């Protein structure tokens, strides 16, 4: 159990923009930061971070919250795990107790799988450094690759003994359940058809050196294991199978260690294998990741896209590798990113090149040999086409097809001009080919749209346009005002209903000085108004209680949100960040200037409460009118009440400068 004092210290110390900046490339936008959503596929930023309020909002997915909410959403942390992650990041001491076997069993499935994976990493690392066989086989292999002790420890490398169930037995002895060992793929269970209780258990990675695969936040998701024997029946590299925590297509090896360097250098080097990443990192080039032996996927590219728009693909001169990289390049272009390609001399790969050259030489080589993708692809395919006109035509078409993937029209035109020069083909022909490809894509899109339209036509008559829920909007505004200005002292103009000399009812203004939360609370109490929305009502009473017990300097939105459940945190952040979406549109560049919040708090409070009163009076009038229609007896009292409400409604609307029909 983590103490309240520690949790409060974490909240006070952690800076939202710093934590999110480890996962998303943020750019300053007024007093806020904006970036690409880490929860959806987008090219235009809709993700906003407010350093002042210490909350974030993703307008594309609707998600939002504080720093803990981000880690729970993005990294699937439990609440305690998010606290521990931040405590580690900001060097805050946190008291942890060893989990009992019973507590391990009670942990939820995902958390249990993470715990098993973390134990496995520690176990394999311990075998590597402390076990005689581990040192003789595993450690000596890594040393032969040129890895230093520091590097081996940094990447958490290890060794799984060449025993059938050495790791599995160790994990079971520590109280970890076989169910989670099997779900993570660390253990293979073979059922005995004749006796189900006599199932056999094997270590998946027996006799392999181990490469832990981390998430962006450093959690162990799975493993890659390399066999050291010449067994032709066994795969050289073996990866953890897909699981609830490990999805190969969504993970990049080394991203945890590379993320800050990628953002700082504004470039990411993409290599093929684990050792390529480690060797480059050890040499000092730290902005490097690998797709872990799988074909590059859009999800992996989007991981990089959050940190930089620039990717440099590195590979050896192997023909099969070149072809695979070319396929990956088209995917990168589709994501609107800038691609460069760099190949190494024959017989060299990123691993060997980084091992055999010092830092300055590696950096210089990358600078001099990294070509724009169009130059690289044109030169490579042109060499293959040689003097064959048909192959040459296919090559040109292949290059134009890649250019068609680029979303930006200006970039497409520049690349067409560059391709025309390299391939000695007129720009007109290339633009014509590009247009043909575009027309085909438009035709295909139209065909899909037509099919979707048919499905839509079946139900379109049932579409109902929702009306704006006025009360919902007003209650939401009240919560927003309390959160932003609750403790502010303001001069309010109160309205008192009086009878003038002619016997008419009038509203006379009276000036009072009060805190915003006091004014709102007293007004709602006086009119016996209770918020109708259950979520808002719950937030309202918690806010009033917190504001009433706070000093001017002690109330903060961040500390208030520490005591809320996750659903309420998301709701509060959505309320606070609602207006920030206008910043995304950059209205000032169009000479449109949205009104600043806080410009006249007293007026905002007065108008909101008055509007709510008007709405409730109008609804009361409608209910009374309905009653008179249903009753056949004397309605004189009801009609008099309606007239009084109509008179009051007219006075309130006059105060709001509204004309009633």
Residues 216-255 pLDDT 10s: 889 999 999 999 988 878 889 999 999 999 999 999 999 9
Mean pLDDT for 140-155 is 97
- pLDDT band with cut points at 50, 70 and 90 for residue 62: confident
Does the residue 15 lie in any domain? yes
User: Could you tell me which residue, 118 or 562, shows the higher pLDDT?
Assistant: 118
What is the model's pTM?
0.72
- pLDDT band with cut points at 50, 70 and 90 for residue 631: low
Asked whether the beta carbons of 263 and 257 are under 8 A apart, the reply is: no
Q: Rounded to 10 degrees, what is the CA torsion of 28, 29, 35, 41? A: -160
Overall domain count for the chain: 4
Q: If we measure between CA atoms, which residue out of 383, 365, 264 comes closest to residue 314?
A: 365
Whether residue 194 is found in the same domain as residue 286 = no
Whether residue 84 is found in the same domain as residue 139 = no
CATH number of the structural domain spanning residue 206: 3.90.980.10
User: Could you tell me which residue, 141 or 489, shows the higher pLDDT?
Assistant: 141
Range from 116-130, 343-357, 390-404 that averages highest in pLDDT:
116-130
Amino acid 52: pLDDT: 85
Percent of the chain with pLDDT over 90: 36
With vertex at residue 63, the alpha carbon angle to CA 252 and CA 32, rounded to the nearest 5 degrees, is 90
Amino acid 224: pLDDT: 96
Quick check: helix, strand or coil at residue 27?
Answer: strand
Task: Compute the mean pLDDT over every residue in the chain, rounded to the nearest whole number.
Answer: 83
Whether residue 213 is found in the same domain as residue 313 = no
Query: Tokens for 224?
Result: 């890659």
Q: List Cα–Cα distances, 570 to 57, 70, 476, 564, in angstroms.
A: 9, 10, 14, 10
Whether residue 498 is found in the same domain as residue 640 = yes
Does the residue 257 lie in any domain? no
Spatial separation of the C-alpha atoms in residues 435 and 365, rounded to whole Å: 38
CATH number of the structural domain spanning residue 43: 3.90.580.10
The CA R_g of the chain, rounded to the nearest whole Å, is 32
- pLDDT band with cut points at 50, 70 and 90 for residue 459: very low
Whether residue 212 is found in the same domain as residue 302 = no
Whether residue 522 is found in the same domain as residue 576 = yes
**Ramachandran angles phi, psi of 208, nearest 5°:** -120, 150
- pLDDT band with cut points at 50, 70 and 90 for residue 33: very high
Given 55, 89, 123, the domain boundary residue is 89
Spatial separation of the C-alpha atoms in residues 455 and 439, rounded to whole Å: 24
Q: Which domain holds residue 59?
A: 4-89
Spatial separation of the C-alpha atoms in residues 388 and 459, rounded to whole Å: 56
Residue pLDDT, tens place only, 540-552: 999 988 888 776 5
Whether residue 509 is found in the same domain as residue 429 = no
Spatial separation of the C-alpha atoms in residues 399 and 298, rounded to whole Å: 20
Residue pLDDT, tens place only, 295-311: 889 999 988 998 899 99
Does the residue 548 lie in any domain? yes
- pLDDT band with cut points at 50, 70 and 90 for residue 612: confident
Does the residue 53 lie in any domain? yes
Asked whether the beta carbons of 324 and 380 are under 8 A apart, the reply is: no
Does the residue 498 lie in any domain? yes
Range from 263-277, 448-462, 512-526, 618-632 that averages highest in pLDDT:
263-277
Quick check: 107 pLDDT over 60? no
Asked whether the beta carbons of 239 and 248 are under 8 A apart, the reply is: yes
Whether residue 183 is found in the same domain as residue 239 = yes
According to DSSP, the residues that pair with 511 across neighbouring strands are: 493
Quick check: 320 pLDDT over 70? no
Mean pLDDT for 173-190 is 95
Residue pLDDT, tens place only, 597-609: 555 888 888 888 8
Does the residue 254 lie in any domain? no
CATH number of the structural domain spanning residue 431: 3.40.1360.10
Does the residue 416 lie in any domain? yes
Quick check: 617 pLDDT over 90? no
Q: If we measure between CA atoms, which residue out of 285, 275, 287, 222 comes closest to residue 250?
A: 222
Full 3-state SS string of 593-641: CCCCCCCCHHHHHHHHHHHHHHHHHHHHHHHHHHHHHHCCCCCHHHHHH
Mean pLDDT for 374-396 is 78
Quick check: 623 pLDDT over 90? no
Length of the chain: 661
Whether residue 327 is found in the same domain as residue 291 = yes
Whether residue 284 is found in the same domain as residue 430 = yes
Q: Which residues contact 572 (CB under 8 A, 6 or more apart)?
A: 55, 65, 479, 483, 539, 557, 561, 564
Quick check: 92 pLDDT over 70? yes
Query: Tokens for 438?
Result: 């575009």
Query: Tokens for 32?
Result: 């806020």
Does the residue 253 lie in any domain? no
Q: Which residues contact 571 (CB under 8 A, 6 or more apart)?
A: 535, 539
Mean pLDDT for 409-433 is 89
Whether residue 225 is found in the same domain as residue 308 = no
Whether residue 63 is found in the same domain as residue 113 = no
């Amino acid at each position: 159990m983590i103490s309240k004092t520690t949790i409060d210290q974490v909240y006070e110390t952690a800076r939202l923009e710093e934590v999110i900046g480890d996962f998303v490339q943020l750019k300053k936008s007024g007093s806020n930061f904006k970036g690409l959503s880490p929860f959806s596929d987008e090219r235009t930023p809709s993700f906003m971070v407010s350093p002042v309020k210490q909350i974030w909002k993703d307008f594309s997915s609707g998600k939002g919250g504080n720093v803990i909410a981000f880690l729970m959403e993005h990294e699937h942390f439990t609440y305690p795990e998010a606290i521990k992650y931040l405590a580690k990041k900001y060097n805050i001491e946190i008291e942890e107790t060893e989990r009992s076997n019973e507590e391990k069993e009670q942990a939820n499935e995902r958390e249990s799988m993470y715990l098993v994976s973390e134990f496995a990493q520690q176990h394999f690392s311990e075998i590597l450094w402390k076990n005689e066989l581990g040192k003789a086989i595993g450690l000596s292999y890594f040393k032969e690759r040129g890895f230093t002790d520091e590097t081996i420890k940094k990447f958490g490398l290890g060794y799984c003994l060449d025993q059938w169930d050495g790791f599995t037995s160790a994990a079971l002895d520590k109280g970890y359940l076989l169910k989670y060992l099997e779900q993570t793929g660390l253990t293979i269970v073979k059922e005995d058809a004749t006796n189900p209780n006599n199932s056999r258990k094997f270590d998946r990675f027996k006799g392999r050196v181990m490469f832990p695969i981390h998430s962006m936040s450093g959690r162990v998701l799975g493993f890659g294991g390399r066999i050291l024997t010449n067994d032709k029946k066994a795969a050289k590299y073996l990866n953890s199978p897909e699981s609830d925590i490990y999805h190969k297509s969504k993970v990049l090896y080394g991203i945890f260690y590379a993320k800050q360097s990628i953002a700082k250098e504004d470039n990411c080097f993409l290599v093929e294998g684990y050792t390529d990443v480690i060797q480059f990192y050890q040499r000092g080039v730290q902005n490097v990741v690998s797709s872990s032996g799988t074909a590059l996927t859009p999800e992996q590219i989007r991981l990089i896209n959050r940190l930089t728009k620039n990717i440099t693909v590195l590979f050896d001169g192997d023909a099969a590798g070149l072809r695979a990289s070319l396929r990956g390049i088209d995917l990168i272009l589709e994501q609107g990113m800038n691609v460069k390609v760099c190949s190494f001399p024959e017989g060299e790969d990123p691993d060997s090149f980084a091992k055999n050259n010092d830092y300055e030489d590696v950096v210089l080589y990358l600078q001099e040999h990294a070509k724009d993708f169009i130059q690289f692809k044109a030169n490579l395919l042109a060499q293959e086409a040689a003097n064959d006109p048909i192959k040459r035509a296919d090559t040109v078409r292949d290059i134009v097809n890649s250019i068609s993937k680029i979303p930006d029209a200006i970039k497409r035109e520049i690349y067409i001009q560059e391709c025309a020069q390299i391939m000695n083909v007129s720009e007109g022909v290339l633009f014509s080919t590009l247009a043909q490809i575009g027309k085909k894509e438009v035709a295909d899109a139209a065909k899909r749209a037509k099919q979707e339209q048919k499905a839509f036509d079946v139900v379109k008559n049932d579409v109902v346009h929702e009306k704006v829920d006025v009360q919902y909007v007003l209650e939401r505004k009240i919560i927003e005002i309390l959160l932003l200005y609750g403790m502010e002292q303001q001069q309010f103009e109160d309205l008192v209903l009086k009878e003038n000399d002619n016997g008419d009812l009038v509203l006379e203004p009276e000036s009072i000085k009060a805190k915003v939360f006091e004014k709102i609370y007293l007004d709602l109490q006086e009119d016996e108004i209770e918020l109708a929305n259950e979520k808002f009502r719950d937030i309202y009473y918690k806010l009033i209680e917190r504001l009433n017990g706070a000093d001017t300097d002690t109330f903060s939105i961040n500390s208030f949100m520490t005591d809320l459940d996750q659903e309420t945190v998301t709701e509060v952040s959505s309320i606070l960040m609602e207006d920030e979406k206008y910043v995304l549109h950059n209205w000032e560049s169009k000479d449109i200037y949205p009104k600043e919040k806080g410009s006249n708090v007293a007026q905002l409070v007065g108008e909101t409460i008055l509007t709510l009163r008007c709405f409730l009076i109008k609804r009361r009038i409608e209910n009374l009118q309905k009653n008179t229609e249903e009753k056949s007896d004397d309605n004189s009292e009801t009609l008099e009440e309606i007239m009084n409400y109509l008179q009051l409604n007219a006075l309130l609307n006059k105060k709001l400068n509204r004309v009633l029909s």
